[in-house]
Amino acid sequence: MTNPDDRLAEYLAGDLTRKHRKVLLRQELRRKIDDHGPGDSDNVVAEIIAYLRERTYLHVVAIFAALPGEVDLRSLPKAIGRVFVFPKVVENHLVFFRVNSFEEDLELGAYGILEPKDGLEVVAVEKIDLFLCPGLGFDLKGGRVGRGKGYYDRVLEKARAGAVKIGVCFGYQLVDEITMEEHDIRMNGVIAG
């Protein structure tokens, strides 16, 4: 059996195809998430609040309902006044809906993720000023590795030119470098706690 540290060393050495390196990195990051358990989301949320307070021009903010190993952003809408939108998987694409209350506006949906209920206001991707993006891991050059379905890469490709894309994670999810493929969209920054 191959040691996970050996696989990570192979990845970093660049001896594998880009796609294979991403598969190995995803495996390594999932192992790290399992090893660390739930992180402290409060510190990350506090950093996001500080970021938003300094950037009052970011009015419409896309956030997400956390999967295990992701930062829980549920306290963010109550902490700072912005228009918050949440994604919902519709026909293999993310569509964003305005959500005013986690308790009233979200329900369990695709992949066991909380998502907006039917009947809420759809917000066009082009109207979103800031995308707070989940991921298994990030690097400090804006590289992001998600869960492999490509939902965020496809939607971020449609974002307007001035939209800001920020990766949100725990500190242990930061890596030195993520191999990017042609379809991957870089983040403008990362907030990690």
**Per-residue pLDDT, 13:** 55
**Per-residue pLDDT, 21:** 81
Apex CA 28: angle with CA 26 and CA 29, to 5°?
65
Sketch out the chain's domains with CATH numbers: 40-192 (3.40.50.10420)
**Per-residue pLDDT, 128:** 98
**Per-residue pLDDT, 19:** 74
pLDDT less than 70: residues of the chain: 1-16, 110
Tell whether pTM > 0.85: yes
**Per-residue pLDDT, 154:** 94
The long-range contacts involving 110-119, CB below 8 angstroms and separated by at least 24 positions, are: 111/67, 112/67, 113/65, 113/67, 114/65, 114/86, 115/65, 115/86, 115/87, 115/88, 115/89, 116/86, 116/88
The predicted-structure confidence for 128-162, as pLDDT tens digits, reads as follows 999 999 999 999 999 999 887 889 999 999 999 99
Ranges assigned E (strand) in the chain: 60-62, 83-90, 93-98, 106-108, 114-116, 122-123, 130-133, 137-138, 144-145, 164-169, 189-192
Strands 137-138 and 60-62: unpaired
**Rounded CA separation 97/99 (Å):** 6
